[in-house]
């Protein structure tokens, strides 16, 4: 996959700089906040062979790429000069409160999911190492590795402060300074000692662990900071702002957080955690069945982010979480269903995708599995959801607990290990519940089957408005020009209009620049600059003829930027030409672009466009 090309196509399809408010990514998705989602070309993205799916949920426009999403994200950031991502001063206040809340949570937690997942897995493996006697908890090796694993969770408010400040558009370093005050060792020691603390006689309420590993207090504090800081800037002269604005913000926000915001956040957190745990206490079995069966549906719509704070709050308040283990069967059940599809299907591409997506599900990445395999076929997705519910019920009934958080996958099983003798069977039950879900997903899909004709459009075909079929083994060429698209039959030259030179289309250019439609080699360029031949790296031979009879201009009005034998990339400038000068000389500038070795391919198809810009997809080569 050419990450830069994919990023460019996605960026153009969502509407580019004029339509993007912000961009972040998670494990598999590019998450855009768009000014107007109707501007985005959703169908074009869904037809893109490198895009798994498009999801519009939670106020976000999500483009599912897969496991290499970070590379595509970085390509967009680098090419568009976004720094850490696009942003806009405008904020969409039209979203309903639930969507806004989900957007805030996902924007705050997404950036450090990788670090958190790695730390959680490491913490689990350290627990396994001590239980098996590989490492002594008193050893220096263990202490150093445990610091690497536990540091993320102990100082979680610091990471949350940084990402929340970016979300709320306030000074990130001041936000971090507030978070550091919350987890300052002396404060933590005072909280643990139970000694009464006051601030100028006002009582400071601290929980026994202080604010280490806390979530809501620092998010509330940063949100208030984002409202307070601009007010301070309004009253402080510009030449004094560098010192006095940060000082006033710290002097006000740190005490305010300890006195008011921290306790409020703690109460909210305890209430949320208590609500879930009340439901769990009523029936762990029912809770497991519901969460195991519905989790992938929640993930599809981005609503799973609402449960992320509950996991953190449970670990902070109780030292463990019962929600994470219930969700593991839901993930592996999708992998089992994908394996069932792979072994039953007669389609080689679907079989390959089923096996590869099953493997990614082992590591907690289910979007390729869901969007690429089980959901388009419907029955496998339903089977997997039911299987996940059964596995979740087993785990819920067994009371399995996780002692650190992270990306839910097979690698998180060690986080279920406890030194408590009463929980010795937890890991065994977690493995059994997960295995049951995987096997049921596999067997159920294999036995029940699915409609072989219902295939994801990327696996089999995309129907165009002309009635033609584009196979997935295709190469999309980029437009070499910006202008109006015309059929070859309208080219005022019988050689081109008859198709004798090959299939293609014509463009009436609005801008006098011809660029490379694909990566390849310049095989022909006339001294007059009016025609260029290019062979792509995939063997497609393309002829671009600027205007009709323009060879008679002997190069006047044409400037070439390449020579025969040059290697070029898609979008590289090949020729610059003066449209007005050519027209003034009495020549047409309609430019046919044809594939001269059309007979080497199954078909060459138009994409039914009327206007086109350079570097936009415009021809599909069916192989």
Give the active site residues.
26
Tokens of 550: 């323009």
Q: How far apart are the C-alpha atoms of 65 and 7, rounded to whole Å?
A: 10
Q: How far apart are the C-alpha atoms of 121 and 114, rounded to whole Å?
A: 11
Strand order in the sheet with 603-606: 474-478, 617-622, 603-606
Q: Classify each residue of 450-486 as buried b or exposed e, where b means 16 or more C-beta atoms within 10 Å of its C-beta.
A: beeeebbebbbebeeeeeeebebebbbbbbbbbbebb
Other beta carbons less than 10 A from residue 436's beta carbon: 21
Distance of CA 496 to the CA centre of its chain: 44
Residues 6+ apart with CB under 8 A from 134: none
β-strand partners of 620: 476, 605
HEC per residue, 421-452: HHHCCHHHHHHHHHHHHHHHHHHHHHHHCCCC
Q: Which of 449, 294, 301, 441 is nearest to 358 (CA)?
A: 441
Distance of CA 302 to the CA centre of its chain: 11
Residues 6+ apart with CB under 8 A from 276: 310, 314, 323
Tokens of 566: 């040059």
Residues 6+ apart with CB under 8 A from 531: 524, 525, 543, 544, 545, 546, 551
3-state secondary structure of 567: strand
Other beta carbons less than 10 A from residue 121's beta carbon: 22
Q: Which of 544, 549, 551, 538 is nearest to 515 (CA)?
A: 544
Q: How far apart are the C-alpha atoms of 272 and 265, rounded to whole Å?
A: 11
Quick check: 280 and 287 in contact, CB under 8 A?
yes
Residues 6+ apart with CB under 8 A from 184: none
Helices 3-13 & 69-80 angle (0-180, nearest 10):
70
Q: How far apart are the C-alpha atoms of 35 and 51, rounded to whole Å?
A: 22
Q: Classify each residue of 580-613 as buried b or exposed e, where b means 16 or more C-beta atoms within 10 Å of its C-beta.
A: eebeeeebebbbbbbbbebeebeebbbbeeeebe
């Amino acid at each position: 996959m050419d990450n830069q090309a994919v990023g460019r196509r996605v960026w153009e399809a969502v509407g580019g700089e004029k339509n993007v408010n912000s961009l972040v990514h998670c494990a598999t998705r590019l998450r855009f906040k768009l000014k107007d989602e109707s501007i985005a070309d959703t169908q074009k993205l869904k037809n893109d062979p490198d895009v798994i799916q498009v999801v519009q949920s939670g106020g976000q426009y999500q483009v599912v790429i897969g496991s290499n999403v970070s590379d595509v994200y970085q390509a967009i950031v680098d090419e568009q000069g976004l720094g850490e991502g696009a942003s806009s001063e405008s904020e969409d206040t039209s979203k309903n409160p639930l969507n806004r809340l989900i957007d805030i949570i996902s924007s705050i937690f997404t950036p450090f999911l990788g670090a958190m997942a790695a730390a959680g897995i490491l913490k689990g493996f350290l627990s396994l190492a001590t239980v098996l006697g590989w490492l002594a908890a008193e050893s220096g090796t263990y202490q150093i590795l445990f610091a690497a694993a536990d540091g993320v969770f102990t100082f979680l408010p610091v990471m949350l402060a940084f990402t929340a400040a970016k979300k709320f558009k306030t000074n990130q370093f001041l936000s971090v300074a507030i978070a550091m005050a919350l987890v300052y060792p002396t404060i933590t020691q005072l909280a643990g000692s139970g000694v009464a603390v006051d601030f100028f006689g006002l009582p400071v309420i601290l929980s026994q662990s202080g604010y280490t590993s806390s979530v809501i207090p620092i998010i509330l504090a940063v949100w208030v900071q984002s409202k307070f800081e601009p007010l301070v800037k309004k009253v402080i002269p510009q030449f004094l702002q560098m010192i006095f604005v940060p000082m006033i913000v710290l002097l006000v926000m740190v005490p305010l957080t300890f006195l008011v915001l921290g306790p409020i956040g703690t109460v909210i957190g305890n209430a949320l955690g208590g609500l879930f745990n009340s439901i769990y206490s009523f029936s762990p079995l029912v809770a497991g069945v519901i969460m195991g069966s519905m989790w992938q549906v929640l993930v599809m719509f981005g609503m799973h982010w609402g449960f992320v704070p509950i996991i953190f709050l449970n670990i902070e308040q109780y030292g463990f979480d019962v929600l994470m283990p219930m969700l593991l069967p839901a993930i592996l059940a999708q992998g089992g269903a994908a394996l069932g599809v792979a072994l039953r299907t007669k389609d080689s591409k679907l079989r390959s995708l089923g096996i590869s997506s099953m493997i990614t599900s082992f590591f907690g990445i289910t979007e390729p599995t869901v969007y690429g395999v089980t959901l388009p076929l419907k029955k496998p997705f339903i089977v997997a959801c039911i299987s996940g519910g059964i596995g979740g019920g087993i785990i819920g009934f067994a009371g399995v607990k996780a002692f650190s958080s992270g990306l839910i996958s097979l690698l998180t099983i060690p986080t279920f290990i406890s030194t408590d003798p009463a929980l010795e069977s937890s890991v065994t039950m977690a493995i059994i519940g997960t295995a049951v879900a995987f096997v049921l997903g596999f067997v159920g899909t294999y036995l029940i089957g699915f409609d072989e004709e219902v295939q994801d459009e990327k696996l089999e075909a995309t129907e165009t408005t002309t009635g033609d079929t584009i196979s997935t083994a295709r190469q999309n060429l980029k437009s070499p020009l910006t202008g109006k698209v015309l059929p070859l039959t309208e080219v005022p030259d019988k050689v081109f209009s008859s198709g004798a030179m090959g299939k293609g289309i014509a463009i009436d250019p609005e801008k006098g620049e011809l660029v490379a439609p694909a990566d390849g080699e310049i095989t022909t360029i006339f001294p007059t600059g009016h025609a260029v031949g290019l062979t792509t790296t995939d063997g497609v031979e393309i002829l671009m003829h600027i205007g009709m009879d323009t060879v008679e201009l002997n190069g006047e009005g044409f400037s070439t930027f390449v020579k025969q034998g040059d290697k070029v990339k898609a979008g590289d400038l090949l020729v610059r030409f003066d449209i007005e000068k050519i027209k003034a000389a009495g020549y047409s500038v309609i430019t046919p672009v044809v594939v001269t070795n059309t007979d080497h391919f199954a078909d060459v198809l138009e994409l039914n466009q009327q206007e086109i810009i350079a570097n936009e997809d415009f021809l599909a080569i069916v192989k």
